[in-house]
Structure 1
Amino acid sequence: MATIVSTLYNNGGQPIPTCMVCDGPGIREITRKSNRNGNAGRFYYKCQDCNRFINFDDDRGWNPQNPICCCGIPSRRQITGRKKVPGKLHFVCRFGSCDFFGWERNAEGSQMVVPETLIGGLAGLKII
């Protein structure tokens, strides 16, 4: 079972995440105000060494009933961006510590897709 291991801490005393690819330390950034995926002004960590996204620095999309990731904790619900297949709901490791990924599906097994008009509201409710 993977665990979060870090000797670096942010000003709030929380461990700074490290990159699963190169083990580099995360640096805290903020998304652009022009972000149209409901993430404008949202804090996140990216790897200082390889520039890879690690995770968001908040509890949005986290629910104790989400699927359990490889770290043994409930995952985070997110939505795909506009580049590939927009609006698809999926689950990832809440802390970016493992490579857990799973699509969210409805009772019939179909992929859950959020219409663009609902993204802002669901983000505001911290569902995604």
Structure 2
Amino acid sequence: MVSPHNPVHILGVNFHELKLVKKALESFYGLGPQLSQRIMAKYTIHPRARLGTVAPKTITALTAELSTMTIENDARRIVQDNIKRLRDMGTIRGRRHAMGLPVRGQRTRTQIQTARKLNQLERGGTHSKI
């Protein structure tokens, strides 16, 4: 018989109890592999542990830890502010963000279509349509 689904709540997000703790942490914007690994080491959680096996006390501690960090909307706003600052200063990087072009020296002679598509969604402002 299949056990009923018991969601695990972390920062108001419901995760399945069979989801890996590492992947659950990395699903938050602004938390990458290294930071999630560091948090798991702090609370002595095995790298391949699943959310259902972690004690509720530890889940509460994880939630408290994540609430003090700049993740999700705060991190997105910081990135947008940095891009806006670059555009206001008139730097090359700012202008390339505004045009929807690759910013960090990627090849543009042939392989630019993907970068234009991605930049249109993420960056605010005016973009040239293809």
For the superposition of Structure 1 and Structure 2, which TM-score range results when normalised by the shorter chain? Answer: under 0.3
Computing the radius of gyration from Cα coordinates, the structure with the larger value is 2
Give the structure-1-normalised TM-score: 0.22
Q: Answer 1 or 2: which has greater strand percent.
A: 1
Higher relative contact order (CA 8 A, sep 6+): 1
